[in-house]
Amino acid sequence: LAKTTQPISMDSYEGQEVNITCSHNNIATNDYITWYQQFPSQGPRFIIQGYKTKVTNEVASLFIPADRKSSTLSLPRVSLSDTAVYYCLVGDMTVGGYSTLTFGKGTMLLVSP
Amino acid sequence: KAGVTQTPRYLIKTRGQQVTLSCSPISGHRSVSWYQQTPGQGLQFLFEYFSETQRNKGNFPGRFSGRQFSNSRSEMNVSTLELGDSALYLCASSLNRVSTEAFFGQGTRLTVV
């Protein structure tokens, strides 16, 4: 699985847009980019997944440039409840799927009033 | 529909004892994976089961084992517990081995004293 690099932590205020960037320079052709959110003492929760360009759902948007060597998770108008650790994962969904999810250290997002 | 259920939620054991943790995946999901999460090492893959067979195993000693039943429920066992086994153990289920997302349970908090 491709290695990912994310900022260790980020701070924001309620109502702001937060963008978390993940670098994955050695991403392979079949790799997808997936983001998970984890609150303390809970399991990670799937946020969004994409392969290229832009993906949007009710929770977030994922921007992937043409070279796919990085991706940006965008959280619009964050609230206090968005304080969590965000993980970026890159992997080939056609081989073993989620059997060997490799989680990095993630980004600790702290949202303040 | 019901999510992934892990039991028990909390457990305290003594060094040298053994422990069995249980995971009931989402109905219809056939793939179950186990992860260990500690503050120092983060989330680490333990093993994956699909159709009652272990498909993949992480880099953990043989004291860690698991199994999956015909109804897809899974158990993991840790024998001869060590203090370092204290962790949050997470179970994730997915529809099959190439699903687009995995659903995590809330985990079992194991404390070894």
Q: Which residues contact B104 (CB under 8 A, 6 or more apart)?
A: A42, A43, A44, A45, B4, B90, B91, B92
For residue range A22-53, list pLDDT tens digits in order.
Answer: 999 988 888 889 999 999 889 999 999 999 99
d(CA A13, CA A52): 29
> For A48-91, what is each residue's pLDDT tens digit?
999 999 999 999 999 999 999 999 999 999 999 999 999 998 88
pLDDT of A8 > 90? The answer is yes
Q: Of B6, B56, B60, which Cα lies nearest the Cα of B33?
A: B56
Distance separating alpha carbons of residues A103 and A112, to the nearest angstrom: 26
Percent of chain B scoring above 70 in pLDDT: 96
Model pLDDT, residue A99: 52
- Which residues numbered 60-99 in A keep a CB inside 8 Å of some CB on B? 87, 93-94, 96-99
Is A109 in contact with A86 (CB distance < 8 Å)?
Answer: yes
Per-residue pLDDT averaged across B18-25, rounded?
Answer: 98
Cβ distance B98 to A102 less than 8 Å, yes or no, reads: no
Interface list for chain B against chain A, based on CB atoms closer than 8 Å: 4, 31, 33, 35, 42-45, 48, 50, 55-56, 58, 88, 90-92, 94, 96-107, 109
Region of poorest pLDDT, from A37-51, B13-27, B66-80: A37-51
Residue B101, pLDDT score:
80
**What's the mean per-residue pLDDT of chain B?**
93
Q: Which residues in chain B are closer than 8 Å to A101, comparing Cβ atoms?
A: 33, 35, 43, 45, 92, 102
User: What is the reported pLDDT for B20?
Assistant: 98
Is B43 in Cβ contact with A43 (below 8 Å)? no
